Amino acid sequence: MKKFLSSILVLTLLFALAACGGGNGENAQNDGTTETEEYLPSQIIIATGGTSGTYYPLGGGIAQIITDNTEVSATAQTTGGSVENVRLLNSQEVDMAFVQNDIADYAVNGTMMFDGAKTENLLGLASLYNETIQIVLPGNSTITSVADLKGKRVSVGAPGSGVEANAKQILELYGLTFDDLKAERLSFGDSVQQMQDGNLDAAFVTAGAPTSAVTELSATNGVKLLNIEDEKADELIKKYPFYVKETIPADTYPGVPETKTVAVKAMLAVSKTLPEDFVYNVTKALFENVDQLIAINKKAESISLETAVDGLTMDIHPGALKYYQENGVK
């Protein structure tokens, strides 16, 4: 009987310990709060964008680099882009994501389209390349300054999009709001069509230059780009540090001179649940195999250690940070 009771007691203790050790990837703290537990799955998912964009093919390349250089298999997943990717990352449906750095900033601070819904599960891994703010006009336009957009028919991007936020912030520099414009909220393709038909005076486009929609306009009606002057760019960056200065080289679009503007950064964000050693290995593999990405898309030529943390206003994952510190990145 004593042996039987002892066995019952041991089993009871084992069940109690199992109950304490199980859960949803969170550890209870002494203060009653929880801390996300690091977890390394056998396969990770990288949220990218549409199949016709830049995020998806580069995401496939990065997935292959991770698969070849770590103990984890990685897969690129098509998505609706930055805003959706943040939500997928926050809900732990994906492990890594391509995100514009301004969208990531809004997410971690709970502002703009994430107002009141601060994202907790997002850390920076690396800046990749510039997403250029292009203020596009038909080739026959007489508009010469952002200030001249007052009262004009201007596409400012889809509601709740990163383009809309960029347009709002840049117009602020010139004392304008959307109420000062005849604002339209159109996609890049629809903006081009409306300009071709003479129904739109200008459009904000946030994308790597050259952008196919803008190239299409240049081939039909010709195209002009507006400059953002250096002092205005400095003012913008001081207020919104996720921006960087950018120069669009002459003849990026036929006949268009060198244009000064600003850009946000395409970046890789990562779940804070991924272990430090794994993220260190991913970061190392990424920067040691950039040539594989350049073969996929020339935008990868901009990926370098020198600019790896440019425009990142959120915390960087400890694994990536360790790699940067070892390589003198500040």
**pLDDT in the model for residue 20:** 39
Pick the closest to residue 174 from 118, 112, 236 (CA basis): 236
pLDDT digits (tens, 9 = 90+) for 42-66: 999 999 988 867 899 999 999 999 9
Asked whether the predicted pLDDT for residue 219 surpasses 60, the reply is: yes
| The token pair that represents 158 in the structure block | 């889809």
Asked whether the predicted pLDDT for residue 284 surpasses 70, the reply is: yes
pLDDT digits (tens, 9 = 90+) for 274-283: 999 999 999 9
Asked whether the predicted pLDDT for residue 23 surpasses 60, the reply is: no
How far is CA 120 from each of CA 44, 114, 165, rounded to the nearest angstrom? 19, 12, 21
Report the C-alpha gap between 167 and 88 in whole angstroms.
25
Tell me the pairing of strands 259-270 and 202-207. unpaired
**pLDDT in the model for residue 37:** 66
Q: H or E stretch including 286?
A: helix 276-288
Please report which confidence band the pLDDT of residue 111 belongs to, taking 50, 70 and 90 as the band edges. very high
Please report which confidence band the pLDDT of residue 236 belongs to, taking 50, 70 and 90 as the band edges. very high
Predicted model pTM:
0.79
**pLDDT in the model for residue 222:** 92
pLDDT digits (tens, 9 = 90+) for 302-325: 999 999 999 999 999 999 999 999
**pLDDT in the model for residue 208:** 83
Q: Write the CATH number of the domain with boundaries 40-129+266-326.
A: 3.40.190.10
Query: Percentage of residues in the chain with pLDDT exceeding 90?
Result: 71
**pLDDT in the model for residue 25:** 40
**pLDDT in the model for residue 4:** 43
Burial class (CB in 10 A: 0-12, 13-18, 19+), 5: exposed
Instruction: Give yes or no on whether 40-129+266-326 and 131-264 have one common fold.
Output: yes
Q: Buried b vs exposed e over 196-212: b needs ≥16 C-beta within 10 Å?
A: eeeebbbbbbbbbbbbe
The average pLDDT across 198-215 equals 90
pLDDT digits (tens, 9 = 90+) for 151-206: 999 999 888 788 899 999 999 999 999 999 999 998 888 888 999 999 999 999 98
Identify which has the larger pLDDT, 135 or 3.
135
Domain 131-264: state its class.
Answer: alpha beta
Asked whether the predicted pLDDT for residue 22 surpasses 80, the reply is: no
Question: What are the structural domain ranges in the chain?
Answer: 40-129+266-326, 131-264
DSSP 140-198: T----SGGGGTTSEEE--STTSHHHHHHHHHHHHTT--GGGTEEE---HHHHHHHHHTT
